[in-house]
Chain A
């Protein structure tokens, strides 16, 4: 078994363009996905990140000193909005789980075992 992190990527635009009902339906679908995979033992954990890159702070090493900056590491309309840790036998299985995600785009990364 390999552990993968699924990083959920998207922009916040859909919140502004969707109705309250649509947003509620979206969260319900995500809740169902989360519960089912947790019950299967596939999902090992994960969180939704606070809304929007506006809440992000980046600490960068600049000339050997750690400096604090407002904003995400990479400025982009698309941001990581949450993550999940899953366990899968191989990448195909992890991709299949990522495809079943009811939200937006997903980056799949294997975890290094030391």
Chain B
């Protein structure tokens, strides 16, 4: 049922926003329909055409809601006249929906919550659990965002050509944040919780199918898939994090990795490099290595150099230093960390990396100080366990 919801919720919301011209109302109707499906389908089975069932139900809910408000007589007529839609009968307006949910006039958390809810069909409690925040917080974010869409007239459409690059960047940033939130999960999750990383991967796949000519979309899709392919090897049976070098590579999803290289092939032929594509190349180089020792570090270093040329940031420099370590040596890598000390002083991975380098350089006392500092700065239980093990 989750898969059906995910496939249909966005289509329904998009179609209803289009016909009603009211984002808030459309979204409420779809949620009503999904709740109704949750009541009926487990008893009666999933209907043969779930999309049409949901659409009919959403429209009926919409009519109920509109009847209560006399101002909407005109809209009501529109809704009643619209033909009963089946999957093929209404156009896929999800692209407009995605761009509306990720409009830059909305705050980042609101963009994420709204995209999960409207495009992927997650319920408010599901979003709250995924982010480990109270349900009321998510509900309030959603209400505020939907009100702003209506009151400030955020348009329901794709941005114009000259705005497209910037706005697509905004959408990708939302999906990237969603993925990281799931992938670096900072707390325990129940078996029934929706995995944000997989939701983000599904969404970027949807985006790639709707915008096949955008290499950065494919880049982000490949980046997410290379990481997901290694997901099973990232934790041991006790839930402890296993670093890349120590992972059992037999547990990697080889088929997913191979499929993802086909995506890499597609964006490479477009010859329009961008930050997500370069990060995908780096993740791909790791996924491709049969052993840690076989990692093609010079390729990785080259990708980091290209990444720096596109967008210089201390985090990229920190990651690049690891590639420098394995290509040139620990001493050179340590030298390159120095200028980052001030900007990254509050970033735990800066100190964790410094600790590793100091240990490689035979300076164990300083390494322990660095690890201790890293431990102070992270709340993530898996990372804390790893650092504590290192400190002995």
A residues engaging B (CB < 8 A)? 2, 89-92, 95, 108-110, 112
Contact = CB atoms under 8 A, between A and B. Distances in A.
B152 A92 contact: no
Contacts of A2: 153
Interface in B146-167: 151-155, 159-160, 163
B105 interface: yes
Contact of B155 (A91, A109, A112): A91
19 contacts: A2-B153, A89-B153, A90-B154, A91-B103, A91-B105, A91-B152, A91-B154, A91-B155, A92-B154, A92-B155, A92-B159, A92-B160, A92-B163, A108-B152, A109-B152, A110-B151, A110-B152, A110-B153, A112-B151
A95 B155 contact: no
A71 B153 CA distance: 34
A105 to B, nearest CB: 15
Nearest to A110: B152
Contacts of B152: 91, 108-110
A91 B154 CA distance: 5
A62 to B, nearest CB: 30
A90 B105 contact: no
A109 B148 CA distance: 11
A92 B159 CA distance: 8
Nearest to A1: B153
A10 B199 CA distance: 42
A91 B151 CA distance: 10
A108 B155 CA distance: 15
Contacts of A89: 153, 155
Contacts, number: 24
Chain B interface size range? 10 to 19
- CB-CB nearest 4 A-B residue pairs: A90-B155, A90-B153, A110-B152, A2-B153
A91 B106 CA distance: 12
Contacts of A108: 152
B208 to A, nearest CB: 24
B146 to A, nearest CB: 14
Contacts of A112: 151
Contacts of B160: 92
Nearest to B167: A92
Given A89-B153, A92-B163, 11 more contacts: A90-B153, A90-B154, A90-B155, A91-B103, A91-B154, A91-B155, A92-B154, A92-B160, A109-B152, A110-B152, A112-B151
Contacts of B151: 110, 112
Contacts of A110: 151-153
Query: Among A2, A90, A109, A112, which residue has the most Cβ atoms of chain B within 10 A?
Result: A90
A2 B154 CA distance: 11
Contacts of A90: 153-155
A112 B293 CA distance: 64
A14 to B, nearest CB: 26
Contacts of B105: 91, 95
Query: Among A2, A90, A92, A110, which residue has the most Cβ atoms of chain B within 10 A?
Result: A92
A89 B154 CA distance: 10
Nearest to B149: A91
A109 B152 CA distance: 7
Nearest to B163: A92
Nearest to B154: A91
A95 to B, nearest CB: 7
Contacts of B153: 2, 89-91, 110
B79 to A, nearest CB: 22
Nearest to B160: A92
Query: Among A2, A95, A112, which residue has the most Cβ atoms of chain B within 10 A?
Result: A95
A109 B153 CA distance: 10
Nearest to B151: A110
Nearest to A95: B105
Interface string B152-186: 11110001100100000000000000000000000
Contacts of B155: 89-92
Nearest to A92: B155
